Structure 1
Amino acid sequence: MTGEVSIATLTDSVADFIREQGLDGVSTAGQSMGGRIVLDLARRGVGGDTVALDPGGFWSRGELVVFGATLRPSIALVRALRGVLPALLDNPVGRALLLAQLSARPWTLSPETVLPDVRGLADSPATGAAMDALTKGPKQQGAPAGTVPGRVTIGWGRRDLVTVPRQASRATELFPDAVLHWFERCGHFPQWDAAQEATRLILDSTR
């Protein structure tokens, strides 16, 4: 995509891709911002079954302030440490320090699991614009009952420090057709903390 980075334009790009590739009715899954985008696709009537893991867009005003004030410095730190990330993440103590906001048990994760995601956060030229889209743009809109094109499943980590668990009730209120799944002992990245459970949820919810 080109131009403004916003939730609307990112969702437009995914919707355009689905249409151009002849994938009408395809199941979609996303996490964090990706979770918000697939919910927005469902709200628009695009796609089929939808799985959103710890989606953004459901913060209160105070939670949004905390989100921006804590995650922006974390991203800046990761960028500053870009050259030594492999060494830091190879150490359980380094993983615990760097990833405490994102994982409930970062010291147990393998470096191979987390390094690509952390590098992507550090290297993406659009990270700052994406943060602005989340913190300064509109909140997620909902979809009245019976208006989504397929099943909607929302997964949430009980120990999520980014999109905190109490936001789940707002999400299910705005998407009354959704089924809520809780990941126990899990932070913002179910694909890290509960990889097999997350995979099973996606496959079972998109059959």
Structure 2
Amino acid sequence: MEMHHIRRGTGEPLLLVHGLGGSWRTWTPVLDELAAEREVIAVDLPGHGETPPLFGEVSIDTLAGAVTSFLDAHDLEGVDVVGNSMGGRLVLELARRGTVGATVALDPGGFWTGWERYFFYATLAPSIRLVRALQPVMDRLTASAVGRTLLLAQLSARPWELSADVAREELRTFAGSPSFDELLRRLAFGPGQPGTDSTPGPVVIGWGSKDRVTLPRQAKRAVNRFPSAQVYWFEGCGHYPHWDAPDEAARVILVATARNEKDAS
């Protein structure tokens, strides 16, 4: 499947996969720093941004199939990948399948149990309805630090510091995604993230210590299911560490996906 995407920089390719309701623009705070060392390919997943939705079922499984088709079409088999939130769960699924190389999953979904599923759904379902209703005045709201704080406190520990452009684009794509509602239900109440004993490439799972969407307690379950993974804690960060600590996030990504000399030879 062809997906809308952008390419920046030169070097070894690095695929960026956004979260539920997002687009490639969610990576704007780290894009230039990553592109200074890698060829960055940032996609709009099906039903997000400028990529049309899938026909039929929309789930992690079908999204993984779409991304795999994209990688095949662009000769990107074994590419290093980074994902956040739903995108974090998606890149872990690709790693589990052996489709990609080094993998960085930032605050991945799918490691909740019991009441945490209902917490996830109950916090995001009303939020998306509000975001849709506020679209006519969203430019004005996101231009204000107070507005960004009220609208993005679930995703960021410091939303007032986020640029108005990034906030506006994220909330615009949230409201416009035709796949948001179905994916939200499947993420909350569908099967959990399958685990694996090993993956072809290294895996780093990053977690914001102040995450209000995928709670920090879920990191332990992620490691239990991916026992070879390393965990990196973004202290004082929320669900989007690449927003709250972009320099730190870019450094973690570049180190985690660095090719050593024998790989490059």
Deviation at 1:79, TM superposition (A): 0.5
Secondary structure at the counterpart of residue 139 of structure 1: coil
Please state if 1:170 is matched with 2:224: no
TM, length-normalised to structure 2: 0.75
Letter in 2 for 1:82: Q
Please state if 1:72 is matched with 2:125: yes
Root mean square deviation, CA, Å? 1.0
Alignment of 1:58-207 (within 5 A): 58-144=111-197, 147-207=198-258
Paired position in structure 2 for 1:2: 55
TM, length-normalised to structure 1: 0.96
**1: CA distance between counterparts of 2:200 and 2:173?**
32
Q: Which structure's residues are more often helix, by fraction?
A: 1
Counterpart contact for 2:86–2:109, Cα < 8 Å: yes
Paired position in structure 2 for 1:40: 93
**2: CA distance between counterparts of 1:196 and 1:130?**
30
Counterpart contact for 2:117–2:189, Cα < 8 Å: no
Deviation at 1:70, TM superposition (A): 1.1
**1: CA distance between counterparts of 2:111 and 2:82?**
18
Deviation per CA, 1:114-146: give whole Å up to 9, x if none. 2211111111111111102201211000111xx
Secondary structure at the counterpart of residue 105 of structure 2: strand
**2: CA distance between counterparts of 1:191 and 1:118?**
16
Deviation per CA, 1:85-130: give whole Å up to 9, x if none. 1110111111111111111111222212222111111111111111
Secondary structure at the counterpart of residue 172 of structure 2: helix
May I ask how many residue pairs the two structures share in their alignment?
205
Aligned-pair identity in percent equals 54
Deviation at 1:21, TM superposition (A): 2.2
Deviation at 1:39, TM superposition (A): 0.1
Secondary structure at the counterpart of residue 154 of structure 2: coil
Paired position in structure 2 for 1:26: 79
Letter in 2 for 1:152: V
Secondary structure at the counterpart of residue 166 of structure 1: helix
Deviation at 1:71, TM superposition (A): 0.7
Deviates more, 1:122-131 or 1:157-166: 122-131
**1: CA distance between counterparts of 2:157 and 2:124?**
16
Query: Which structure exhibits the higher relative contact order, with contacts defined as CA atoms closer than 8 Å and separated by 6 or more residues?
Result: 1
Deviation per CA, 1:141-193: give whole Å up to 9, x if none. 0111xx30101011000000000100000001100111101101110011211
**2: CA distance between counterparts of 1:73 and 1:134?**
16
Structure 1 stretches lacking a partner, 5+ long: none
Paired position in structure 1 for 2:41: none
Counterpart contact for 1:156–1:180, Cα < 8 Å: yes
Counterpart contact for 1:114–1:192, Cα < 8 Å: no
**1: CA distance between counterparts of 2:169 and 2:232?**
26
Paired position in structure 2 for 1:15: 68
